Structure 1
Amino acid sequence: MARRTTLRPAHPLRALAGAVAVAALLTAGPPASAQVPPTASEAQAYRGLHAAAFQGDTAAAKRLLAAAGDTAPALLQARDARGRTPLHVAAFARQRDVIRVLAQAGASLDPLDNDRYDAVTIAAVADDEDTLRLLLSLGASARQVTSRYDGTALIAAAHLGHEGVVRQLIAAGAPLDHVNNLHWTALIESIVLGDGGPRHQATLQALLQAGASQALTDRQGNTPLQLARQRGYTAMVQMLEQAAARR
């Protein structure tokens, strides 16, 4: 997915890993490149349901959908130039009341935009726990494969150290051990694309508590424990060792 954090290698082994990771930061990250929120000019150009979604105008959204009658599904499925539906736009803009209106009108909660992002992953990357909670309560899936890197919302959130989002996604049945096309799981990304600090430690702990596999390796055959040791992430090493001892 997209870039999400700055790698800070501390020794030669980490420098090498960092070089690999920089090329791979397009795997599950924030809207720095692949996941792109509407720009100011795009938002200004929006009309109809896209405009209502971005502005959080529930009255306008209801009026447009009522006036559309039998053609309302076409409005709900309409796409902007980047393939964003009104639901995508509302998720980016954190317009939860509009999301409810769209869902009640029959909007699909799981469409992918042109970059293969869904509303769940948009909320996950933004660390927007309230919007994520709403989407999941409405029936959106936490299991979708998203982005050009065949990742998941869980991998995206683990990369960023969004512990609360990670816990929500786990509870919603997100695949714990999905392997993206960089050969990384959420557990591995919390190590190799994190900074080893408290947020990523908490994320790692959430994944370990949920039973995420420590046996799955990166493409070079490194286990999560080996990856944490290479980076000098002492706290993560201890967490991984303790979790392995309990199994």
Structure 2
Amino acid sequence: MESNKAIFEAVYDGDKNQLIDILEKNISLEIRNDQGRTPLMEAVYNKNNEIATVLINAGADVNAQDNMKNSPFLYAGAEGNVEIVKLVLNNGANFKIYNRYGGTALIPAAEKGHLDIVKLLVNWPNFPKNHINNLGWTALLEAVILSDGGKVHIEILEALIDGGCDVNIADKNGDTSLDHAKKSGYTEMVKLLQKAGAK
């Protein structure tokens, strides 16, 4: 149990050398703290990419979920941490693991304006870019519904369209992204969606 505590302390302290020493003792990388987080998840939550990289290279599970249903991939995507998202994608990210809203990493990335993440994911082979979450929204719908219609979300919308996202998927009420953009008075978004064949 002492080594379990030590691995979390090394992660919290960002002490790479101490972490490497602990890893040489072959302790489990999948132990959990009170929030249900593994050492890798804590490193990602703390935005310590160097420590996260050491843990991933040591074989930490990139798909483990905590009590809030976040995984390293889902959390890094929502927070715009491109380095970790790339690392996790290259180390077996499971696209069928969803956050507490039933969403992929792309959906909150689109909502929060993380353009680099959006571009990366829509162009990643076999990524489910048209996945519908528990609210009945795709990343494209969310980028319109939860945006302010400003420059950042216009760029996000462009990236989603360019990445091949379906512009005509409707929400649970039958409203499309175009309907929402019109209702909100987002003129630029309306133009982009119409040009992309939205109805």
Tell whether the structures are fold-level matches, with TM greater than 0.5: yes
**Does 2:179 match 1:233?**
no
Q: 5 Å matches for 1:87-236? A: 87-137=40-90, 139-141=91-93, 143-173=95-125, 174-236=127-189
TM-score, structure 2 normalization? 0.91
Whole-angstrom CA distance in 1 between matches of 2:81 and 2:106: 13
Report the secondary structure of 1:158's partner residue. Answer: helix
Q: Alpha-carbon deviation of 1:48? A: 1.4
Whole-angstrom CA distance in 2 between matches of 1:113 and 1:140: 18
Q: 5 Å matches for 1:20-31? A: none
Aligned partner letter, 1:199: V
RMSD: 1.7
Q: 5 Å matches for 1:11-26? A: none
Whole-angstrom CA distance in 2 between matches of 1:102 and 1:154: 24
Whole-angstrom CA distance in 2 between matches of 1:196 and 1:158: 13
Whole-angstrom CA distance in 2 between matches of 1:47 and 1:195: 44
Q: Stretches of 4+ moved more than 4 A in 1? A: none
Q: For residues 66-106 of structure 1, what are the alpha-carbon distances to aligned partners after superposition, in whole Å with 9 as ceiling and x for unaligned?
A: 12x3xx2x2x0011111110111111112222122212222
Residue 43 of structure 1 aligns with which residue?
none
The answer to whether the Cα contact below 8 Å between 1:142 and 1:172 also exists between their aligned partners in 2 is no
Q: Alpha-carbon deviation of 1:142? A: 6.2
Report the secondary structure of 2:10's partner residue. Answer: helix
Residue 7 of structure 2 aligns with which residue?
49
Aligned partner letter, 2:104: T
Aligned partner letter, 2:82: E
Q: 5 Å matches for 1:72-87? A: 72=27, 74=28, 76-87=29-40
Deviates more, 1:88-97 or 1:224-233: 88-97
Structure 2: stretches of 5+ with no match in the other structure: none
Q: Alpha-carbon deviation of 1:236? A: 0.4
As a proportion of its length, which structure holds more helix?
A: 1
Q: Percent identity?
A: 35
Number of residues of Structure 1 aligned to a counterpart in Structure 2 = 194
Report the secondary structure of 1:47's partner residue. Answer: helix
Whole-angstrom CA distance in 1 between matches of 2:97 and 2:84: 19
Task: Compare relative contact order (CA 8 Å, sep 6+) and give the higher one, 1 or 2.
Answer: 1
The answer to whether the Cα contact below 8 Å between 1:91 and 1:122 also exists between their aligned partners in 2 is yes
